[in-house]
Structure 1
Amino acid sequence: MSLLDLDAAELEQLAADVRARYDELKAKNLSLDLTRGKPSSEQLDLSDALLGLPGAGEDVDKFGADVRNYGNLGGIADIRELWAEVLGIDPATLLAGDSSSLNIMFDLISWSYAFGNNDSERPWKDEETVKWICPVPGYDRHFAITEHFGFEMVTVPMLDDGPDVDAIEQLVKDPSVKGMWSVPIFGNPTGISYSRRVIDRLAAMETAAPDFRIVWDNAYAVHTLSDEFPDNPNVIAIGEQAGHANRFWYLSSTSKITFAGAGVSFLASSKENLNWYSHIAGVRGIGPNKVNQLAHAKFFGDAEGVRTLMRKHAGILAPKFAAIQEILEDRLGAYGVATWTKPEGGYFISLDVIDGTAERVWELAKQAGITLTKAGASFPRGEDPRGRNLRLAPSLPPLEEVTEAMDGVATCVLLAAVEKLGA
């Protein structure tokens, strides 16, 4: 059944019921927020023991170097080896930095723009046009970086097993296409993970630009909603085996594992890419916060310590995601006015409503005291060509607020739908 199956009288009755329910919603004077994928206080509390680490007299790394001093641009071996085991990669391919992998991503783009990367014929600022592939729906902060540098952002749709590789393989025949954004596991906002088929094709495809790069932002590699962890192929090795050793800039961090603003970030890539990055990073600074790196290494203990912590996160997050699924199915499933993703991990749910109504849903929710991420935010420049996508972020509020907010959002989706149909 869908709204289109209702006759005029049934549609008018439904519209009246939905408007009455919306009036009741506004009368509650709510103030609820589902905008950003932030950890809740309950999640942050899981890592409070970090605040007492590494501990007085325990401020040397595994080689006896004092972490309180300058140096060691690539980060201490203690955390690099531990995190390499978490990701299933060679620690020799991994650098440890400060708290934000997003900062590293900005550096990678800005340094390629200013100087060119190690495979560039010239700095990207000297190119007539720089184009960048953006799978959509995608991560708004990714798009903000390439928009900031004036790149032409070319969208490709996300399919059930990752981005449309057929479309990507055609786009990279253009030498002005210099790179691509990706969130390969439990993607933002869809929760979709790339299949091995997609990964292999991305690694093997020929590109007209010799300095083409894929930003492999593996932000949610261990962010399961269950006790099971996803497969995480080693794209550094896959790229090398495919003859494109320099293809991937692989990013990771502890930002939604320990403290979002005080974690450790990581860059993994080929030796050539890391040498290029380190050469410039060594001019920008003397070294990362190694005290914090050692604190994290001691806090986790080993890779299994990371997985144990993430199971605790899952215990907090999973009920919120389950509540959203239940409410959307109960309130909207019978009417055919929306579809949504059902992720097994990550921080988001992607909601598609009737074409052309996402902005109206956002407005109705705002008027009712429910703040959602702006409609279209998951597209470059906020421009959703079908006007249908909304990103839901349930992690920060308590479960009861998530439930109340989503019931309200469902009412807004229905009201926008009946308005669209003229009822």
Structure 2
Amino acid sequence: MSLLDLDHDQRKELAERVRQDYEELKSKDLQLNLTRGKPSSEQLDISQRLLELPGTEDFKDADGTDVRNYGNLKGIRDIREIWSELLGVRYDELIAGDASSLNMMFDLVMYAHTFGTQDSERPWNQEEKVRWICPVPGYDRHFTITEKLGYEMLSVPWLDEGPDMDAVREAVKDPQVKGMWLVPTFANPSGHTVSQDVARQLAEMETAAPDFRIVWDNAYAVHTLTEEFPEVIDIVTLAREAGNPNRFWHMTSTSKITFAGSGVAFLNTSTENIDWYASYAGARGIGPNKINQLAHARFFGDADGVRQVMRKHASLLAPKFNRVLEILEAELGEYDVARWTTPSGGYFISLDVIDGTAARVVELAKGAGIALTEAGSSFPLHKDPNDRNIRLAPTLPPVAELEEAVRGVATCVLLAAVEKLGA
């Protein structure tokens, strides 16, 4: 029965029970954390053999180059060939960098900000104003980059097959709209995936700014929770065929496939964009960590080796996600006070509570020793206009701790709801 359908006495009875449950929760002195999407120790153990690679006698790549030395700004062929096959993209449109695709994203935006792109009339920092499209709920670290640069962020809602394209098409009529963030596969935090149709619309749409760019952050391209891997859309080819070859900066990395802080990042984009990027990246540094790239190439062997590793991750993560969903349904389902996504991949579950209560839920959880990501974090400037969205990250805690934390969150959701209704 919906909480809204309860009569006065029933609400009062429920409120008393929930308050008692919350006091019992606080008495446990918990120290639980559901804030960030980090791999668990068991997941990191999958790649332990990397610490032994490439080995003391193995230091030449497929081209015979000594990876211990300087050079090769685009990364070694060994790992680029594996990733181009894995993503189904052209080898000459893929470069391999260091550990973090987020660093590469920051560099790309900063180069455009400071120098302009090859399609720009002037550097973006010389524009009167720069606006950036932000599908919401979205990835907080994306928004941090554009916030630091003082860009005006335009929120558009996520729909089932991608961002609201009517809102996007309206926004790009403005020549000051220079870019857009997008996580196309198992999006952070909702788990939604951009459809082929929406991807084609993004590639084909007319934009007032000739230097409009979409950061296609495919961080979870192979992060399935099932036996099935998602289709990876070759967005750069779509854009080239649509006559907009430079529109997309397609990013991905091994950060949550092997070691979170010591992986390999990739940029898939037009060769013209790669040349533009390299002209500035070559001044920033002489080349990436090619020893680490070779170690990863040896570890995976080929694209199917990557998929085998991801199946191991799925075997550890799927039970955690299933337990979170089961507990949310058992604890909250009958009261109709929350909605949540049921992703088939990625690292997060998006939880929507009664409008005006998300911040209170996070506050109550903190009081009970359960750390949640700040309410509003999935929106530009941390401002959720409806104060409803909370991101849950089930990956790091052991299952027993995860279960206790989610039950505690459910208690806080109910308590915030009965408070909101004056019960």
TM over 0.5: yes
The aligned counterpart of 1:335 is: 335
Aligned residues: 423
1:221 paired with 2:212, answer no
Report matched runs for 1:188-227 at 5 Å: 188-227=188-227
CA distance in 1, matches of 2:227, 2:85: 18
The equivalent of 1:296 in structure 2 is 296
Q: Deviations over 1:258-282 (max 9, x none)?
A: 0000000001100110000001111
Q: Which amino acid aligns with 1:6?
A: L
In structure 2, what is the equivalent of residue 358 of structure 1?
Answer: 358
Matches of 1:149 and 1:110 in 2, distance apart? 9
The within-5 A match list for 1:221-260 is: 221-260=221-260
1:410 counterpart residue number:
410
Q: How does 1:19-418 map to 2 (within 5 A)?
A: 19-418=19-418
Cα shift readout 1:151-198 (whole Å, capped 9, x = no counterpart) = 000000000111001110010000000000000000000000001111
Q: In structure 1, how many angstroms separate the alpha carbons of the residues matched to 2:92 and 2:272? A: 12
**Secondary structure of the corresponding residue to residue 178 of structure 1:** strand
Deviations 1:363-400 (A, max 9, x none): 00000000000001000010000000000001011011
Alignment deviations for residues 73-131 of structure 1 (CA, whole Å, 9 cap, x no partner): 10000000001111110111000000000000000111101000111000000000000
Task: Return the offset for 1:330.
Answer: 0.6
* Alignment deviations for residues 281-339 of structure 1 (CA, whole Å, 9 cap, x no partner): 11111000000000000000000000000000001111110011001101111111000
Structure 1 runs of 4+ off > 6 angstroms? none
Counterpart code for 2:187:
G
Instruction: Report the Cα offset of residue 4 of structure 1.
Output: 1.0
Report how far residue 226 of structure 1 moved. 1.1
Query: 1:20: Cα distance to partner?
Result: 0.7
State the TM-score, normalized to the length of structure 2: 1.00
Give the aligned residue type for 2:251. L
Cα separation, 2, equivalents of 1:63 and 1:369 = 54
Deviation at 1:2, TM superposition (A): 1.0
Query: Is structure 2 residue 35 aligned with structure 1 residue 17?
Result: no
Between the aligned partners of 1:369 and 1:247, the Cα distance in structure 2 is: 45
Root-mean-square deviation (CA), in Å? 0.5
- In the aligned structure 1, how far is the partner of 2:108 from the partner of 2:287? 17
Aligned-pair CA distance for 1:245: 0.5
Cα distance per residue 1:211-233 (max 9 Å; x no partner): 00000000000000011100111
User: Which deviations, in whole Å up to 9, do the C-alpha atoms of 1:9-55 show, x marking residues without a partner?
Assistant: 00000001101111111111100000000000000000010001001
Q: Where does the alignment leave 5 or more consecutive residues of structure 1 unmatched?
A: none
Secondary structure in structure 2 of the residue aligned to 1:363: helix
TM-aligned CA deviation for residue 239 of structure 1: 0.4
Give the letter aligned to residue 131 of structure 1. R
Question: How many angstroms apart in 2 are the aligned matches of 1:396 and 1:217?
Answer: 22
Kindly provide the amino acid, as one letter, of the partner of residue 59 in structure 1: F
Cα separation, 1, equivalents of 2:227 and 2:401: 25
Shift of 1:248: 0.3
Q: In the alignment, residue 10 of structure 2 is paired with which amino acid?
A: E
Structure 2: which 5+ runs fail to align? none
Residue type of the alignment partner of 2:278:
S
Partner secondary structure for residue 333 of structure 1: helix
For residues 359 and 79 of structure 1, the distance between their equivalents in structure 2, rounded to whole angstroms, comes to 44
Aligned mates of 1:19, 1:57 — CA distance in 2: 64
How many Å apart are 1:63 and its aligned residue? 1.1
In 2, Cα distance between the equivalents of 1:22 and 1:63?
A: 63
Q: Distance in 2 between matches of 1:125 and 1:235?
A: 28
3-state SS in 1 of match to 2:334: coil
- Tell me how far apart the structure 1 counterparts of residues 317 and 56 of structure 2 sit (CA, whole Å): 35
Matched, 1:421 2:421: yes
Question: One-letter code of the match for 2:319?
Answer: P
Secondary structure, aligned partner of 1:180? strand
- Shift of the alpha carbon at 1:237? 0.4
**TM-score if structure 1 supplies the norm length?**
1.00
